[in-house]
Structure 1
Amino acid sequence: MDKQGSGIYAWIMELVLLKTLVIVSEMGSFTDAAGKLCVTQSAVSRRIQQLESHYGMALIDRDAEPVTPTPEGRVLLGKARRILELQEEMDEAVTGLKVRHHIRFCCTPCFGVTRLPGIFRKLVGAYGRDLDFNVTFRLSEDIIDGLLAGRYDLAAMEHCCDLHLSSCTAYSLPPDDTVFASAPGLGIPVGRVDLKRLAPHRLFLKAQNGCAHRFLMRGLEKMGVDGSAFGNLTYYDDLLGLVRQVCEGQGIGFVSRELVAAEAKAGRLKIHRLKGFDHTRPRSLVVPPHFRPTETTGKFLKVFFKSFGLPLPPDLD
């Protein structure tokens, strides 16, 4: 250990010894002090012995019941309390100067459930406790309004319809793959199927006029199919709860492939694609007008694009 490291270690150990003296004096017992300090009784005894060896005198009267400081120990005890109080003040003062990082992020519910958790884990690994990450779920048009109003720093979304970005800037991401999912017990074949195999079943969607609903209705319209082909629609605002309902065989779901990947792999769900329907849903990162990355948003963007296996766009570097 270098001299600087040795000095810091010695200072920390001195604080530990002084704190032990204070606790023993307050508790009146080596055993009780050990419990409060979460160490063994022998460790407490060794620490007091170290202090006594350093000063060359007894600091604790072990014959007293309860144990009490000797006259010399009381003098050191008063100084020890002042040193420990000063150390707490120093810690509070320095901690108060620590820079905290803030990101206001908005995304669609689907992105928030499927992609955001992995991004968040990596981001916390980079910032630890110094990051305030505020996340809001909204529909795509509400996200654009929020970016323009300055409520959000960054946003990510699936495009369920023609998106009017106004003066915001969008960066393309790998598209979202939407699918129909069903429990094996419903007997729907895996893979591409005709509408007649899906339409008779209750269809679970997250929200009426939500992104998945609008994307589905628009896709059916392009096929020349009326949206009423699915006559039994159920809106379930909790995406994970929706997946549980589908796993239980209560109906079929129209969701992101990423949302049901684990259930499909485990055999709890079967994946279907409607013949003639375009299941590919565009997805983008969107930033407000005149966006300039800060140190904080810059680090987030690197983590974000890396999670998709993409390089950071040059104008965001």
Structure 2
Amino acid sequence: MESIYLKTLIEAVKTGSLSKAAENLCVSPSAASRRIKFLEDQYGYPLLDRSGPVLKPTQAGSLVFDKAKKLLEIEQELLHGLTEMGNKPRISFCCTPAFGIAYLSSVLKEFMMHNADLNNLKFFFDMPDKVVKGLKEHLFDLAVIEHCACLDLKEVLTFPLPDDEMIFVSAPSLGIESAVADLDILVQQRLYSRNEGCCSKIFLDSNMQNVGRDSQEFKQIIIYDDLHLIIQAVLDGEGIAFISRSVVDKYLDNGSLRVHRVEGFRHNRNRTLVVPHAKQIDTNLMNFIGCIFSAFSLTLPELETTISQPPPPAIF
């Protein structure tokens, strides 16, 4: 079976939408639907519950989803090994969804302007702990992560980037005026969030605990695994989100969203460029790193003076 069918199921479950899955995979919704139908015919069970506004996996769908992720991880390792054997120039880059949405497009545009002959580029999105694991297993050449918890970074080179600011956002229609909002007002709203294991949710839970509160105080918590769906729900005035400012800057600039901070919250989290310690930094990779630094108005010489130093201690 071609792995693209399993990838389609994974995207459908993650996004809760066949149309969004199709968009992420660059195919038509009907093509995505046919792939899911093929899997259901192949396994003899319905894999998606289509009864609600958001697609959810059935019991059989959850089983296939879990096994599919493992199969695709094995496929990635296989492809990585074959690529290394071929010794062809390539870049495999992984980042968190927040960085991908806010910066990857501009980074790639600048890189391709001067490196158009490099046609082996791979991009992946994952949570910080899984990104670091992939780096240590040499699945990726470099990565950018935003993180707020203790990560084991002893076996990798780390280079600090400007912090990522996490803020509450709401649509003007909700009527929350103050930039420094009363937490009692915010918890009366529906909160749109990513899954329990994501860094932003962990960061929010930690902040709530630090001010003697609990995330369960929010009127309702809606979990989406796709940032686009979260942003759209907030734009539609359906609730609030605790989200990376870089992801929603354009909506704050045009007035579609309002920013809210909470007294006593730590709103900034670390953002770090990470490279495997044993990785050979060739010209293409150095150029790509330079484009990442350029996105934050930092210059490559600052990186070049640091690249040969021993790895710093783990970042908390």
For this structure pair, what is the TM-score category when the shorter chain's length is used for normalisation?
Answer: 0.5 to 0.7
- Whole-angstrom CA distance in 2 between matches of 1:131 and 1:309: 26
**Which blocks of at least 5 consecutive residues in structure 1 are unaligned?**
1-98
Q: 1:282 aligned to 2:270?
A: yes
1:229 aligns with: 217
Residues 153 and 288, structure 1, Cα contact 8 Å, conserved in 2: yes
Residues 100 and 131, structure 1, Cα contact 8 Å, conserved in 2: no
One of 119, 122, 128 as aligned partner of 1:131: 119
- Whole-angstrom CA distance in 1 between matches of 2:306 and 2:165: 28
RMSD: 1.7
How far did residue 300 of structure 1 move? Answer: 0.8
Q: After superposition, what is the alpha-carbon deviation per residue over 1:233-288, rounded to whole angstroms, capped at 9, x for unaligned?
A: 11122212211110100100111111111111111111111121011011000111
How far did residue 100 of structure 1 move? Answer: 6.3
- Whole-angstrom CA distance in 1 between matches of 2:154 and 2:219: 36
One of 292, 307, 312 as aligned partner of 1:316: 307
- Whole-angstrom CA distance in 1 between matches of 2:278 and 2:306: 11
How far did residue 222 of structure 1 move? Answer: 1.9
2:196 aligns with: 208
- Whole-angstrom CA distance in 1 between matches of 2:117 and 2:186: 47
Residues 292 and 316, structure 1, Cα contact 8 Å, conserved in 2: no
Q: After superposition, what is the alpha-carbon deviation per residue over 1:206-225, rounded to whole angstroms, capped at 9, x for unaligned?
A: 22221110111112122222
How many residues are matched? 219
- Whole-angstrom CA distance in 2 between matches of 1:170 and 1:229: 37
Secondary structure of the structure 2 residue equivalent to 1:276? coil
- Whole-angstrom CA distance in 2 between matches of 1:119 and 1:176: 17
Runs of 4+ with >4 A deviation = none
Secondary structure of the structure 1 residue equivalent to 2:237? coil
Secondary structure of the structure 1 residue equivalent to 2:277? coil
Secondary structure of the structure 1 residue equivalent to 2:93? strand
Q: After superposition, what is the alpha-carbon deviation per residue over 1:97-141, rounded to whole angstroms, capped at 9, x for unaligned?
A: xx9631000111111111111101111111125332201111111
Secondary structure of the structure 2 residue equivalent to 1:218? helix
One of 252, 255, 260 as aligned partner of 2:243: 255
Secondary structure of the structure 1 residue equivalent to 2:120? strand
- Whole-angstrom CA distance in 2 between matches of 1:208 and 1:127: 39
Q: After superposition, what is the alpha-carbon deviation per residue over 1:22-76, rounded to whole angstroms, capped at 9, x for unaligned?
A: xxxxxxxxxxxxxxxxxxxxxxxxxxxxxxxxxxxxxxxxxxxxxxxxxxxxxxx
The code of the aligned residue for 2:211 comes to M
- Whole-angstrom CA distance in 1 between matches of 2:216 and 2:287: 46
- Whole-angstrom CA distance in 2 between matches of 1:240 and 1:231: 22
Residues 6-85 of structure 1: matches in 2 within 5 Å? none
1:244 aligns with: 232
Residues 298 and 316, structure 1, Cα contact 8 Å, conserved in 2: no
The code of the aligned residue for 1:103 comes to I
**Which blocks of at least 5 consecutive residues in structure 2 are unaligned?**
1-86, 309-316
Q: 1:297 aligned to 2:285?
A: yes
User: Which protein has the larger Cα radius of gyration, Structure 1 or Structure 2?
Assistant: 1
Q: 1:158 aligned to 2:113?
A: no
How far did residue 230 of structure 1 move? Answer: 2.1
The code of the aligned residue for 1:247 comes to L
Secondary structure of the structure 1 residue equivalent to 2:251? helix
Residues 144 and 272, structure 2, Cα contact 8 Å, conserved in 1: yes
The code of the aligned residue for 2:195 comes to A
How far did residue 231 of structure 1 move? Answer: 4.3
2:54 aligns with: none
Residues 140 and 158, structure 1, Cα contact 8 Å, conserved in 2: yes
Q: 1:113 aligned to 2:101?
A: yes
1:270 aligns with: 258
Comparing 240-249 with 122-131, greater Cα deviation is found at 122-131
The code of the aligned residue for 2:307 comes to L
TM-score norm. by structure 1 comes to: 0.66
- Whole-angstrom CA distance in 2 between matches of 1:179 and 1:300: 29
The code of the aligned residue for 1:113 comes to I
Secondary structure of the structure 2 residue equivalent to 1:171? strand
How far did residue 203 of structure 1 move? Answer: 0.5
1:63 aligns with: none
